[in-house]
Chain A
Amino acid sequence: MSSKMDTRNTKVMNRFDVTSRLIAKLKHEEAVIGGIGNTNFDLWAAGHRPQNFYMLGSMGLAFPIALGVALAQPDRRVFALEGDGSLLMQLGALSTIAALKPKNLVMIVMDNGIYQITGAQPTPAAGVADLVAIALGSGLANSTWAVDEKDFERLVDEAMSADGPSLIALRIDDKPGVGTTRRDPVQIRERFMHGLGVREPL
């Protein structure tokens, strides 16, 4: 992180901890899309829910997939967990979401400045780019850094009733994900569709 970004008054948090705090707040079968890698490992470890979708590839598509769910089910809140490296791969999606203004979409960016799962190499943004500033510049007016865990919980509460898309970014440490998602894509999708009430189990 550059000296300028170090001056940002944001605590470095832990991904599994904040993911668990988010899940604890979900009382209405909200959908959660876990991005590729550690964000969905920690989503799994925080306790499997049928409304969770776990990506196995397609880096950068957590927000677009969540947007699709949000457009299909406008009465359900949809959360997406994305890493900083993944977001960099699909920055254009921020403008698409800003243009469509889905009221029920909440984007959470876990920023540790590294491609953790591939060997912890720094991303090109590390120390030079501010992802919240990029989101704001993309037209997502309701974008902010969470200062600490309490602030994160407050922002999630606010996002639950916001009338437009919200983006919450957190600085996180470099601890690996706690669990490992099972890797059966058809089972993941089918369970998710059951969880969203789109299908009945056989």
Chain B
Amino acid sequence: MAIAEQQTSSQAEHVPGDKSWHSIVLQTLKRNEISLIPYVPDRVLTPLIKGLHADPFFTTFATAREEEAVGIVSGAWMGGRRGAVLMQTSGFATLANTLASLAVPYQIPLIMIVSERGTLGEFNYGQSLVCRTMRPVLDSLALEHHTITRLDELEFIADRSIKQAVTTQAPVALILNPLLTGGKVFDK
């Protein structure tokens, strides 16, 4: 399957024409001049994170919490630099206060890329429960969000969503589903 090949292919190389999901995300960020990328790690996001670290266009670094990363990209936006936060579903679950008191009321185009755990083969009950809190939180704040399952739709959804976030000054969450990334599998 294509997904399996993506997972095992060389992870940090983002050569032109590379149609892996992580290369498409990286190129889409770059094309939209999103250069500041704080993240809290996730196994599935590893090839994207490696690619971002390897590309000097991006300032990529780990933070201790997702809230911190949201504060950093919010400050950067106000200072004239665009950023995006990478996280896992469980990290999104820590963000309700920050979204409702910073990104939404101050009208900041916060771009969140969320690796989706808790579905399609999830083996950790805690993860599956956390995942179920994500869309109700997004909906309760009327936040734009898209779940991406198909490689052929990834670039369109990511590119248009980023442009919409910036022009409407509103946060957006791009949820990367296991159908796109392969997800994390039970391997112990």
User: Do A and B make up one complex?
Assistant: yes
Say whether A93 contacts B68, CB under 8 Å.
yes
Mark B58-82 against chain A: 1 for CB-CB distance below 8 A, else 0: 0101111101111111111111110
Q: Which residue from chain A places its CB closest to the CB of B99 in the assembled complex?
A: A58
Say whether B61 contacts A64, CB under 8 Å.
no
> Is B97 part of the binding interface, using a Cβ–Cβ cutoff of 8 Å?
yes
> Is A169 part of the binding interface, using a Cβ–Cβ cutoff of 8 Å?
no
> Is A65 part of the binding interface, using a Cβ–Cβ cutoff of 8 Å?
yes
Q: Which of A4-12, A17-25, A172-180, A187-195 contacts B (4 or more CB under 8 A)?
A: A187-195
> Is A109 part of the binding interface, using a Cβ–Cβ cutoff of 8 Å?
no
Say whether A68 contacts B36, CB under 8 Å.
yes
Say whether A68 contacts B75, CB under 8 Å.
yes
Within 8 A of B (CB), among A4-62: 31, 33, 53, 55-61
Q: A90-B65, A96-B63, A189-B108 are in contact. Are A61 and B71 (CB under 8 A)?
A: yes
> Is A186 part of the binding interface, using a Cβ–Cβ cutoff of 8 Å?
yes
> Is B106 part of the binding interface, using a Cβ–Cβ cutoff of 8 Å?
yes
Assembly CA distance A91 to B68 (angstroms): 10
Q: Which residues of B have CB within 8 Å of A192?
A: 78
Say whether B78 contacts A57, CB under 8 Å.
no
Say whether B102 contacts A57, CB under 8 Å.
yes
> Is B107 part of the binding interface, using a Cβ–Cβ cutoff of 8 Å?
yes
Say whether A53 contacts B78, CB under 8 Å.
yes
Q: Which residues of A have CB within 8 Å of B71?
A: 58, 61, 63-65, 67-68, 93
> Is B101 part of the binding interface, using a Cβ–Cβ cutoff of 8 Å?
yes
Say whether B80 contacts A71, CB under 8 Å.
no
Closest chain-A Cβ to B74's Cβ sits at a distance in Å of 6
Say whether A96 contacts B61, CB under 8 Å.
yes
Say whether B102 contacts A71, CB under 8 Å.
no
> Is A73 part of the binding interface, using a Cβ–Cβ cutoff of 8 Å?
yes
Q: Which residues of A have CB within 8 Å of B105?
A: 56-57, 185-186
Interface size of A in residues (CB-CB distance below 8 Å): 39
> Is B32 part of the binding interface, using a Cβ–Cβ cutoff of 8 Å?
no
Assembly CA distance A188 to B78 (angstroms): 11
> Is A69 part of the binding interface, using a Cβ–Cβ cutoff of 8 Å?
yes
Mark A65-77 against chain B: 1 for CB-CB distance below 8 A, else 0: 1111111110010
Assembly CA distance A100 to B106 (angstroms): 26
Name the residue among A58, A76, A99, A193 with the largest chain B CB count within 10 angstroms: A58
> Is B83 part of the binding interface, using a Cβ–Cβ cutoff of 8 Å?
yes
Closest chain-B Cβ to A146's Cβ sits at a distance in Å of 25
Q: Which residues of B have CB within 8 Å of A91?
A: 64
> Is A142 part of the binding interface, using a Cβ–Cβ cutoff of 8 Å?
no
Say whether B67 contacts A72, CB under 8 Å.
no
Q: A58-B71, A58-B98, A189-B108 are in contact. Are A68 and B76 (CB under 8 A)?
A: yes
Q: Which residues of B have CB within 8 Å of A64?
A: 63, 67-72, 75
Say whether B77 contacts A68, CB under 8 Å.
yes
Assembly CA distance A59 to B65 (angstroms): 13
Say whether A186 contacts B106, CB under 8 Å.
yes
Say whether B65 contacts A198, CB under 8 Å.
no
The 10 closest A-B pairs by CB, nearest first: A92-B64, A68-B75, A57-B101, A72-B79, A64-B71, A72-B81, A61-B71, A68-B76, A65-B75, A198-B80
Apart from A64-B75, A66-B75, A96-B63, 11 more pairs, CB < 8 Å: A55-B102, A56-B105, A57-B105, A64-B68, A68-B73, A68-B75, A69-B76, A185-B105, A185-B106, A196-B80, A198-B78
| Interfacial residues, chain B to chain A (CB-CB below 8 A) | 36, 38, 59, 61-65, 67-81, 83, 97-98, 100-102, 105-108
| Interfacial residues, chain A to chain B (CB-CB below 8 A) | 31, 33, 53, 55-61, 63-73, 76, 90-93, 95-96, 99-100, 185-186, 188-189, 192-193, 196-198
